[in-house]
């Protein structure tokens, strides 16, 4: 999970959402997260048959519905132990403070999403006392910051608007650049 593409649209057709997700998967991105706040999210997850995860999972009901649709993994914006307990797939659990990060890890998160990420130096500082926790910063991650996050010790990054667009030509170009940068940064 060196690179998670975060698919979040306020308004989108089901067909367009499935096309965007399929393009990201076909581009070889290791993680594609479709946020449940996006219209038709569960339909897209189901259409892609276990090849994408569900994001913005906040309740046990969200976790149940996403898993029934075939989500390969779940992403939460906050620490909710009951969601981690309900999960039958890996969870990338959102947290910010060292206390929240540790709580997410202890509760069984596969990765801890540092959200919103204050930057690479914060990741480095948190990993000093918590070196075993695989951190995945999200929020404001750009192509040019990937190498800095990798150098700081992040396990990967989550990227939304800097990567994901409905323009398929631009999406292919961005996906290729982000995948290449992530592969190089964690090589």
pTM, entire model: 0.96
Give residue for tokens 């995945």: 136
Residues recognised as catalytic = 33, 113
Q: Six-digit token pair at 173?
A: 């170009």
The per-residue pLDDT for range 36-64, each reduced to its tens digit, is 999 999 999 999 989 999 999 999 999 99
Q: Which long-range contacts (CB under 8 A, 24 or more apart) does 19-28 make?
A: 19/168, 20/164, 20/165, 20/166, 20/168, 20/171, 21/47, 21/48, 21/52, 22/48, 23/168, 23/171, 23/172, 23/175, 24/164, 24/171, 24/175, 25/51, 25/52, 27/172, 27/175, 27/176, 27/179, 28/179
The per-residue pLDDT for range 128-187, each reduced to its tens digit, is 999 999 999 999 999 999 999 999 999 999 999 999 999 999 999 999 999 999 999 999
Q: Is the pLDDT of residue 30 over 90?
A: no
Domain residue ranges in the chain: 3-185
Looking at domain 3-185, which of 3.40.50.2020, 3.30.70.1430, 2.30.30.100, 3.20.20.70 is its CATH number?
A: 3.20.20.70
Average pLDDT over residues 26-45: 97
């Amino acid at each position: 999970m060196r690179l998670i593409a975060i698919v979040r649209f306020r308004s989108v057709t089901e067909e367009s959402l499935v096309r965007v997700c399929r393009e990201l998967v076909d581009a070889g991105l290791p993680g594609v997260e479709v946020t449940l706040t996006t219209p038709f999210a569960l339909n897209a997850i189901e259409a892609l048959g276990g090849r994408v995860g569900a994001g913005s999972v906040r309740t046990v009901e969200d976790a149940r519905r996403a898993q029934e649709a075939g989500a390969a993994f779940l992403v939460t914006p906050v620490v909710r132990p009951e969601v981690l307990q309900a999960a039958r797939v890996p969870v990338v659990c959102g947290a910010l403070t060292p206390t929240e990060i540790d709580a997410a890890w202890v509760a069984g998160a596969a990765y801890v999403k540092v959200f919103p990420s204050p930057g690479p130096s914060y990741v480095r500082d948190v990993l000093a006392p918590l070196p075993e926790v695989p951190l995945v910063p999200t929020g404001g991650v750009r192509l040019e910051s990937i190498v800095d996050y990798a150098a700081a010790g992040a396990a990967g990054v989550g990227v939304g608007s800097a990567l994901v667009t409905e323009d398929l030509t631009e999406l292919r170009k961005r996906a290729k650049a982000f995948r290449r940068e992530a592969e190089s940064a964690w090589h």
